[in-house]
């Protein structure tokens, strides 16, 4: 599976936007970009996914670079409940992946009141 | 709507004792099922996945085994626990496709003494 690189940690203030970067320079044309987050002592939670175009949902926005070698998860107004570990994961359409997820270390987001 | 149940929430076991963790999914049929483990301060590691009753694929060699006796039931077991089996165990289900998300349970925190 293609690898992703994320900063170990980021900090934000409450009600400010947060941009969480992810590098995936070896992404293939059939890799989808998925984001999950994990709140303390809980299982991961799906946030958003995309292939080429920018995506929006009720939780966040996903901005994908034109060459697809990087992406950014955008939280428009951070709240204290957004403090979590954010994982950027590539899922491949081919082969026998069976929807498996390969988690990296993720980015620890701290939100200050 | 679909729900996933995982129990117990916490478990303390002596070294050498057996283990059985259970996970059940409601509201869907023939889901892909997954067991992950998260060691302290680390990312999630996929242990087993199953695409159907009686079918188990192991991702890493270990002291654990998994079984799927029913469509929506996934069990993680061990005959003799090791200290290194401590961790946060998470069950997840998904439809297995490239875009469908995985949905995680609340996890079991296992401590081996």
Per-residue confidence of chain A (113 residues) as pLDDT tens digits? Answer: 668 999 999 999 999 999 999 999 999 888 899 999 999 889 999 999 999 999 999 999 999 999 999 999 999 999 999 999 999 999 876 655 667 788 888 999 999 99
In the prediction, which pLDDT does B95 show?
84
Q: Which of A39, A101, A81, A107 is nearest to B47 (CA)?
A: A101
| Closest residue of chain A to B34, computed from CA coordinates | A100
Structure confidence at residue B41 as a pLDDT band (50, 70, 90) = confident
| Closest residue of chain A to B40, computed from CA coordinates | A41
Residues of A whose CB is below 8 A from B101: 34, 36, 46, 49
Q: Which of B102, B64, B22 is nearest to A97 (CA)?
A: B102
pLDDT above 90 (res B22):
yes
DSSP-assigned letter for residue A57: -
- CA dist A3 and B47 (Å) reads 19
Question: How far off is chain A from B45, nearest CA to CA, in Å?
Answer: 7
């Amino acid at each position: 599976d293609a690898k992703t690189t994320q900063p170990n940690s980021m900090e934000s203030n409450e009600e400010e936007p947060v941009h969480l970067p992810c590098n995936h320079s070896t992404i293939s044309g059939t890799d989808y970009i998925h984001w999950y987050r994990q709140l303390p002592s809980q299982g991961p939670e799906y946030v958003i996914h995309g292939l080429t175009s920018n995506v929006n949902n009720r939780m966040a926005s996903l901005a994908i670079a034109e060459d697809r070698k990087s992406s950014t998860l955008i939280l428009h107004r951070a709240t204290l409940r957004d403090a979590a570990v954010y994982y950027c994961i590539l899922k491949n359409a081919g082969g026998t992946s069976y929807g498996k997820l390969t988690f990296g270390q993720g980015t620890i987001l701290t939100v200050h009141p | 709507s679909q729900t996933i149940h995982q129990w117990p929430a916490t478990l303390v076991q002596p070294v050498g004792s057996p283990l059985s963790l259970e996970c059940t999914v409601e509201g869907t049929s023939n889901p892909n099922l997954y067991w992950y483990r998260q060691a302290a301060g680390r990312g999630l590691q996929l242990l087993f996945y199953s695409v159907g009753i009686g079918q188990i694929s192991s991702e890493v060699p270990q002291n654990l085994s998994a079984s799927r006796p029913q469509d929506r039931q996934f069990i993680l077991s061990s005959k003799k626990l090791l200290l290194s089996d401590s961790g946060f165990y998470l069950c997840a289900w998904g439809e297995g496709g490239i875009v469908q998300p995985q949905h995680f349970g609340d996890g079991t925190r296992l401590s081996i003494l």
